[in-house]
Amino acid sequence: MMFLTTFVIVSMSVLGVAGYATFAKVQQMNDVLALLKSQSTNLHIIIRGVSEEILVHDNPYSKTMVLEKAKSFEENLKKISDVANDAKMIALIKSQIVPEWKFVEGDLALFFKIHMPNPDNVDAMIMLGKLSADTDRLLKKIDQIQVDASRRTHNQIAVISMVMAVGVFLLIGMTALILISIFRSISRPLTEISVIAAKIADGNLSVEPEMQSNDEIGVLADAFRHMLVNLRRMISHTTVVSGEVSDASRIVKDSSLQVYNSVIVQTAAIQVVATAVEEVDRSI
């Protein structure tokens, strides 16, 4: 039973650690997915800002917005590498996202070198088309990484959930075995003691509990053994006293018989004397 208890405790600890690790891993992947989604948003805003820069050239906020989102995209790339804590994810970011982002950065740098970009400026429209194509390619790769990351996260959750479900069922089984073992360890000695008590009630004092333990059942068994010793001693003492009383009664009976015989003899003697006295009286 000690082994089963230790096994259950260790298993619960392992399941707890595994559950926490899984939760942490899923949380990391959710953070990465949130950052990737933010990257897609940044790219859409960049394209919109460049389009506004061409269509509404006197808008002072378009270029600022594009530069801010480009800086945010660069910062998020570093955050993803720090948060991911996953070699495969980091490798995908470095091999697919970073190179494509360099193309987009280069397109932005060339675009902002164009003087007075407008719909009639061929160079501006060419750079917008190139920037749109590079951005679209980068968005597709980000979407693909998001899909792969989501699939991996779901697979990990499914595997860990299955393992934890099996572990929980095993723990339930082990706990049931422990409870059954505890129930038997309590009920069996109590049954034995109740049988012994019934035999004692029938007058059989030769029985004695066999269990030896340091728990309450052991204390009860020791109390029964002590009671049996006292009962045997009491019965032995009662037998001795009964023998002594029987001997004394026999002595008293013999003494009474002797007294009775003496009384009979004395009565006979008195009658003889009385008869003699009467005869003397008649002769006088």
The CATH number for 254's domain is 1.10.287
Q: Supply the CATH number for residue 123's domain.
A: 1.20.120.330
> Which segments of 116-160 are extended strands (E)?
none
Say if residue 38 is in the same domain as residue 153.
yes
Say if residue 258 is in the same domain as residue 165.
no
Say if residue 175 is in the same domain as residue 198.
no
Residue 237 domain-assigned? yes
Which pLDDT tens digits describe the chain residue by residue (284 residues)? 555 566 656 666 766 666 666 677 777 778 888 888 998 999 999 999 988 888 886 777 888 899 999 999 999 988 888 887 778 888 888 888 999 999 999 999 998 888 778 888 888 899 889 999 999 999 999 999 888 888 887 887 787 778 778 877 877 887 888 788 777 777 777 787 788 788 877 877 777 777 677 777 777 777 877 887 887 788 777 877 777 777 777 887 877 788 777 778 778 777 877 777 777 777 76
C-alpha span between 283 and 272 (Å, rounded): 17
Cα 272 to its chain centre, rounded Å, is 108
C-alpha span between 248 and 14 (Å, rounded): 80
Out of 179, 200, 223, a domain closes at 179
Say if residue 197 is in the same domain as residue 248.
yes
The model's pTM: 0.57
Say if residue 27 is in the same domain as residue 163.
yes
Q: Which domain holds residue 150?
A: 2-179
Q: Which two tokens stand for residue 153?
A: 């996260």
Out of 179, 204, 221, a domain closes at 179
Out of 179, 210, 236, a domain closes at 179
Residue 166 domain-assigned? yes
Residue 184 domain-assigned? no
Q: How many domains does the chain have?
A: 2
Say if residue 138 is in the same domain as residue 8.
yes
Residue 151 domain-assigned? yes
